[in-house]
A and B are shown apart, each in its own frame.
Chain A
Amino acid sequence: MKLSNWFKGISLPRPPAAAPPVGLPAPEKVYLPLRQHRGAVAEPKVEPGQRVALGQVVGASEEFESAAVQATVSGVVEAIVDTVDPAGEKVPTVVIQNDGADAWADELAGAAILEDPAAVKATRPSHLLRRLREAGLVRAQVQGRPLHVDLSPPMAPQSYLYMTGIPVVRPIDTLIIRAVDVDPPVCPNQSCMGEASQDLAVGVAALARISGAKRVILALPSGVDAAGIAAIAAQYEWEVASVSQRAYPFASDNLLVQSLTGREVHTPYGEPRDVGVLLEPLISALDVGRVLSSGRPVIDRVFSVAGEVKNPQTFRVRLGTPISQVLDAAGGGPSRPGKIIVGGPMMGLAIFDPATPVTRETVGVFVQSAASVVAYADHPCIHCGRCVAVCPVNLIPSDLGKLCEFRMYEDAAEMNLMNCIECGCCAYVCPARRPMVHFLRHGKSEVLAGRME
């Protein structure tokens, strides 16, 4: 960590050592939303009453920013209903009644199997990309994009890229695999480190082959036993970087790219790819490896349960399992639940329905009891400057918060409101308990709405 970052951000308690994920039996019913990412909703390809096999496509779309959805149990399609995703939007959802047979679909039998990195290197990138698209992989992150979109060259015309001020699109030369979790104690990546094996090698080789990256950096959490994964890294000549899990939010995408490569990602429209870096979480890389080496789509998701449950741990659950069932497997939540947060405590989204299914974009939940739900206040800003001291991107959150509170959105935009990464450090340290992130988010949406007119 750079010295200039020493006082920035906040220091969170060290998360407990993560155990490898525990498998959960398939549920009786799965709920498969037809959009599990940012982008377009897939068209349902099945009808109620139809019998489906494991891995059979139940939803697909011609749209580019859309990932295919496969059945994660074999059984009968019961209905197509609307559920609400973590971001609060209604999504059509296929409900499948499990018959317990777990019979794989026939059409998957003929898929080519790439079992080692050498075989991956001998395959054409376009072929690999098509395989990933067919498998419907999604970057493991709320509002993550389908992996094939992440890996394809940008669709926007060059003139648009100039318009947003991002200078030149440079070829990707670095691949960062992030085994650090941004928002502990929800730490699915860390708990998967022990599982990394040939799958990881295949996945990383495929990501590097598709993107053209020559240099692979593995960002490991510091202070955690990572001998196994470090040995794999040494075998395939990946660079290993140690990143502190406590220094929040320095493991988040843009800041991690900056600290590992020294390249600064432009906000708000830029992405790591603009500076020649592809960054994927470890669980996404593992999924890529499993798709290529098994020839089958990934039907489960590594899912961490943290916070006030009896046994906080990481599970491997079928996609479409209601979150409430995962909570029960973790020993049950508090007697008076307060919040169920998809993602971590600092950046996660609170959901209102515990029956929300586990999807490809969710990586874990953080549970709070009613007693520990925090209350914000309408206290005026006391100008103490603690938010300025911790802001990882050098904003003046106190002024931005005041401007947004008093509806001076364009003035706030001139003070770089749009460069806020919504990490929540300002709200965390605020002694007046002002809802800083709420103000800034509201201001951003008002600025965008104002500019659209």
Chain B
Amino acid sequence: MNQNLLTVSTSPHILGRTTVRSMYLEYMIALAPALLMGLYYFGAPALITVLLAVASAAVSDFIVSFITKKPSTLSNLHIICLGLVLGLILPPGAPWWLPVVGGALTVFLGIGIFGGIGYYPMNPVLVAWVALAISWPEAMNSFLDPLPLGTEGDWAEAETPLMQLKGDIGTLQAFELGVLWLGKVPGAIGATSSWALLAGGVYLIIRRIIPWQIPIGALLGAVGMALLAAYTDPAIEELGLEGFAAHMDVAWFHLGTGGLLIAAFFVGPEPVSSPVTPWGTLLFGVGIGLMAIIVRTWGGLVDGAFYGVLLMNAATPLLDRIRPRVIGKVVNGA
């Protein structure tokens, strides 16, 4: 046997360095600032919740691969990353079984029954999140007051800015935007520190891990809808907002609260369930932004960002039909 046989295969003969593993690794790097800020503000309860979510997802993946007799795909970090995202959108100090059930639902209901990575139609993290939010609303809606690392005190339950907004529209003006964007407010573990999410998201866009259209579209949609609401909603008009700057403050409030930024930068652009075409991704993002603000302003629920993502996930096959014009295609062919 000749040892110097040459390999013959189709081009290309060189490949880029990106793999599924490196992609999800970059996701987790981008999530690190938000995670660290969450741990800084919410301490041990947050750490336990996140760890339980990741561990539960990993164990569930082992069970799925055992049942389906397929090799475990844990090494490509996909499941780990989804578990991390799930942990970050849960409230800190949730009962221990909440992240455990959530992680299992992510893997079984979100991924496993559809056939694994690449095949599920909806974002698995949000499938689990919605199941939890419907089943245990009290547990999912009890948030802690932030207690930065090194401060003495006991954990106290508190209402998130958006919950206060539901009760009293005047909250819009009561909050200081600086505090809001720093994240020192009650909320989900990873969703409060807006600047950390923004930094991570920009990193993902620069590294071309996510298409820029989804976050930009979501932010544009949210700002546009928030301005529209500020100009037209009588409840907000009664606050006596004057001028564009005051109306823009409403938009800044909405961008900095709830799940909007984590939905725009991390949950929405989850590759498998988001569209791929240029205009499709942009509309996908805009839909997320619109839904978030519509639900917050006029809906019965507290936040609509995650429901917006789920709704747009359902529209993904439709959005993927908006294809760009193919260069070189004969138009008047006959």
Contacts of A441 in B (CB 8 A): 10
**Which of B80-88, B112-120, B178-186, B215-223 faces chain A?**
B112-120
Q: A166-B330, A350-B8, A424-B12 are in contact. Are A396 and B323 (CB under 8 A)?
A: yes
B328–A386 CB distance below 8 A: no
**Could you say which of A349, A366, A421, A428 contacts B16, with CB atoms under 8 Å apart?**
A428
Assembly CA distance A10 to B180 (angstroms): 40
Contacts A366-B13, A380-B119 known; list 20 others, CB within 8 Å: A266-B330, A338-B7, A339-B7, A345-B12, A345-B13, A350-B7, A376-B9, A380-B116, A381-B118, A382-B118, A383-B118, A383-B271, A383-B272, A384-B23, A384-B271, A389-B211, A394-B327, A416-B329, A427-B15, A433-B19
Among B5, B11, B116, find the residue whose CB has the most chain A CB atoms closer than 10 A: B11
Assembly CA distance A338 to B9 (angstroms): 11
B6–A388 CB distance below 8 A: no
Any B CB within 8 A of the CB of A103: no
Any B CB within 8 A of the CB of A258: yes
Assembly CA distance A336 to B5 (angstroms): 9
Contacts of A95 in B (CB 8 A): none
The number of chain A residues with a CB under 8 A from chain B is 72
**Could you say which of A164, A270, A431 contacts B22, with CB atoms under 8 Å apart?**
A431
Contacts of B7 in A (CB 8 A): 338-339, 350, 370, 373
Question: Measuring CB to CB, which residues of chain B are less than 8 angstroms from any residue of chain A?
Answer: 3-16, 18-20, 22-23, 116-119, 208, 211, 271-278, 281, 320, 323-330, 332-334
Assembly CA distance A373 to B324 (angstroms): 34
Q: How far is the CB of B122 from chain A (nearest CB, A)?
A: 13
A389–B208 CB distance below 8 A: yes
Q: How far is the CB of B306 from chain A (nearest CB, A)?
A: 20
Contacts of A438 in B (CB 8 A): 9-10
Q: Closest 6 CB pairs between A and B?
A: A385-B276, A424-B12, A165-B333, A380-B118, A267-B328, A384-B271
Contacts of A392 in B (CB 8 A): 327
Any B CB within 8 A of the CB of A422: yes
Q: How far is the CB of A347 from chain B (nearest CB, A)?
A: 5
Q: How far is the CB of A223 from chain B (nearest CB, A)?
A: 21
**Could you say which of B8, B119, B328 contacts A351, with CB atoms under 8 Å apart?**
B8
Contacts of A352 in B (CB 8 A): 5-6, 8
Assembly CA distance A71 to B224 (angstroms): 74
**Could you say which of A267, A353, A368 contacts B13, with CB atoms under 8 Å apart?**
A368
Contacts of B329 in A (CB 8 A): 266-267, 416, 419
Contacts of B211 in A (CB 8 A): 385, 389
Any B CB within 8 A of the CB of A190: no
Q: Which residue of B lies closest to A335 (CB)?
A: B4
A270–B328 CB distance below 8 A: yes
A338–B327 CB distance below 8 A: no
Q: How far is the CB of A416 from chain B (nearest CB, A)?
A: 5
Q: How far is the CB of A438 from chain B (nearest CB, A)?
A: 4
Q: Which residue of B lies closest to A435 (CB)?
A: B10
Any B CB within 8 A of the CB of A395: yes
B16–A429 CB distance below 8 A: yes
**Could you say which of B18, B272, B328, B332 contacts A419, with CB atoms under 8 Å apart?**
B328
| A interface SS class | loop
B13–A350 CB distance below 8 A: yes
Among B118, B119, B328, find the residue whose CB has the most chain A CB atoms closer than 10 A: B328
Assembly CA distance A385 to B213 (angstroms): 12
Q: How far is the CB of A159 from chain B (nearest CB, A)?
A: 12
Q: Which residue of A lies closest to B3 (CB)?
A: A336
Contacts of A435 in B (CB 8 A): 10
B16–A388 CB distance below 8 A: no
Contacts of B323 in A (CB 8 A): 394, 396, 415
Contacts of B6 in A (CB 8 A): 337-340, 350-354
Among B7, B271, B325, B333, find the residue whose CB has the most chain A CB atoms closer than 10 A: B7
B18–A386 CB distance below 8 A: yes
Contacts of B12 in A (CB 8 A): 345-347, 424, 427-428, 437
A428–B15 CB distance below 8 A: yes
Any B CB within 8 A of the CB of A276: no
Assembly CA distance A398 to B320 (angstroms): 11
Chosen A-B contacts, 29 in total, with CB atoms closer than 8 Å, are A165-B330, A165-B334, A254-B328, A264-B327, A266-B328, A267-B327, A337-B6, A339-B9, A340-B6, A350-B6, A350-B7, A370-B7, A374-B15, A379-B20, A380-B117, A382-B117, A388-B278, A394-B324, A396-B276, A416-B326, A424-B11, A424-B12, A427-B12, A428-B14, A431-B19, A431-B22, A433-B15, A438-B9, A438-B10
Q: How far is the CB of A367 from chain B (nearest CB, A)?
A: 10
Q: Which residue of B lies closest to A268 (CB)?
A: B328
Contacts of A270 in B (CB 8 A): 328, 330
B327–A432 CB distance below 8 A: no
Q: How far is the CB of A164 from chain B (nearest CB, A)?
A: 8
Contacts of A171 in B (CB 8 A): none
Assembly CA distance A424 to B19 (angstroms): 16
Q: Which residue of A lies closest to B73 (CB)?
A: A379
Q: A384-B23, A429-B16 are in contact. Are A422 and B327 (CB under 8 A)?
A: no
Identify which of residues 203-241 in chain A touch chain B, using a CB-to-CB cut-off of 8 Å: none
**Binary B-proximity of A378-414 (CB < 8 A = 1, otherwise 0):** 0111111110110011111011000000000000000
